[in-house]
Amino acid sequence: MSRIAYVNGRFVPKSKAAVHIEDRGYQLADAVYEVWALFDGKLADPEGHFVRLERSLSELSIDMPMSRAALTTVLREAVRRNRVREGLVYLQVSRGVAKRDHAFPTDPVAPAVVVTVSRVDRASTEARAAKGVGVITLTENRWGRCDIKTVGLLPNALAKQKAREAGAVEAWFVDEMGLVTEGASSNAWILDGEGVLRTRDTQANILRGVTRLTLMDVAREAGLKVEERPFTPDEARAAKEAFITGAGSLVLPVVSVDGKPVGDGAVGPVAMKLRRLYIERAKATAV
Ligand code: PDD
């Protein structure tokens, strides 16, 4: 059961866990977050998520609430207290509590920290991967700093809801050049006709996915050619395979885009192999 949350220095039952009504994360989305996959009770890709957390915080001029080592202890303790082995750890850091004003508080405030842990049923996520999922495409309508992992996720939430209503699992945003940027909560990939793995470059307005980065390495090690080169929805449908990556989806095959099949419409061997290799790597490096 995942019933214990960490809130500003204390572990509390979720039913009693609360943040202040003037928390700037709540009022202004003035907060960042990270999500770690958990394998056998250990945090996957620890380094990548800490690097991105520090970068997101620094872009918003919010201090790291504590050292990496202390934060790791808190995350691990949250996992231990919830007795979760396979799941996700969510960390949110907001600028803190202050009387509502758009500009930053003039008197220094302590960042507010929340950690929750949730369980994932790996058997059902494996079954989903083996079947593949559909994605829909939507016009990109997010702000210009998607590289910062903020909790300002309304466009992402609306996109995800549209995907669900269309019977799909993810929504891919498409920019004004007609190129896929990324998913509402994942990065987008194809294996093109030449056998090249392609995903959007980080000069574009995307989140620098930690899973994406590790997978680039894993794929190259497996002898695949990887290019940070964009693709259109048509190119995705004409591709041999497509998939998404993220702490939640890991590596998840995509078999249709806007209801039309990717390649022959079947789950591809490369995506499934990369899923297996990613999980192996994540397990081997988890802390
Ligand atoms: N989302 N792009 C977006 C917009 C995301 O929200 C995420 C992750 C990713 C993949 O990043 P990573 O590989 O570091 O998880 C890409 C998390 C899982 C979430 O919001 O729950």
CA 175 to chain centre: 20
| pLDDT tens, position by position, 181-190 | 999 999 999 9
Identify whether 240 is a catalytic site residue.
no
Residue 1: is its pLDDT beyond 80? no
Atom of ligand 1 nearest to the CA of 34: 17
Strand 133-139 and strand 170-174: the pairing is parallel
pTM, two decimals, is: 0.98
Report pLDDT digits (tens) over 139-160: 999 999 999 999 999 999 999 9
Mean pLDDT score, 255-261: 98
Are 183 and 246 within 8 A, CB to CB? yes
Confidence of residue 284 (pLDDT cuts 50, 70, 90): very high
Residue 118 · residue 91 · CB < 8 Å: no
Q: What is the mean pLDDT of residues 61-89?
A: 98
Among 228, 234, 239, 252, which Cα is nearest to 195's? 239
Tens-digit pLDDT profile for residues 79-115: 999 999 999 999 999 999 999 999 999 999 999 999 9
Closest residue CA from atom 16 of ligand 1: 186
Torsion angles phi and psi, residue 147, rounded to 5: -70, -20
Q: Does the structure show a pLDDT above 80 at 270?
A: yes
Any atom of ligand 1 within 6 Å of the Cβ of 211: yes
Confidence band (pLDDT; 50, 70, 90) for 11?
A: very high
Pocket test for ligand 1, best of 160, 182, 207 (most atoms within 8 A of CB): 207
